[in-house]
Amino acid sequence: MKDSSLIQRGLAALARREYSAAELKRKLAAHAASDEALEEALKALKDRGYLSEARFAESFIRRQAARKGTSFIKQSLKQHQLSAELIATVTTDLQASEESRARQLWERRFGEVAVDPKERLRQMRFLASRGFSHDVIRRITRED
C-alpha cells in the first residue's frame, strides 16, 4: 500500500528544489511508518518522473560550478550517493571550463598576482579549498 502522505511530502520538497534519492529518503524517513512505505513512496516518485538523479546532479552542478572546482563537485555528488557513471557523465564539461571558472573566482577575490610569497600561498589555498586542481591553481597564480 502506497503512503500518499509520504508521496505528497516528497512532491512538496521536490517542488522547492531537486533532491537526490538518498537526500529525499533522509528527509522523509521521520514521517514514514515503515521502511517499506518509504521505499514505495520513493519508487512511486521515481516512476512518475518527479525524482531524477540526473536532474539533481545537473541542478547541483549549475548551483556550484561558478564557485567550486571539479574535484569538490565530484566529491559532493559522491556524498549524495550518486553512481560513479552518472557523476562521470554529468561532470565531463566541468573539466574543460575549470580554468576559466577558477580565473573568474580569483579575479573577483584578488584581481592581481601576488608578489609576496605569503600572499601567493594565501591565494593558492583559497582556490585549493574550493576544489580546483593544483595545475590550474599554479597557472592562475603564477606571474605572467
DSSP string across 128-143: HHTT--HHHHHHHHS-
Tell whether domain 4-51 is in CATH 1.10.8.60: no
pLDDT at 93: 85
10 CB contacts (<8 Å, ≥6 apart)?
24, 28, 41, 42, 45, 50, 51
Model confidence over 21-78: pLDDT tens digits?
999 999 999 998 889 999 999 999 999 999 999 999 999 999 999 899 999 999 999 9
**Cα distances (angstroms) measured from residue 59 to each of 28, 91, 133:** 21, 12, 22
Which pTM does this prediction carry?
A: 0.82
Domain boundaries, the chain: 4-51, 55-141
Q: How many residues does the chain have?
A: 144
pLDDT bin (cut points 50, 70, 90) of residue 3 is low
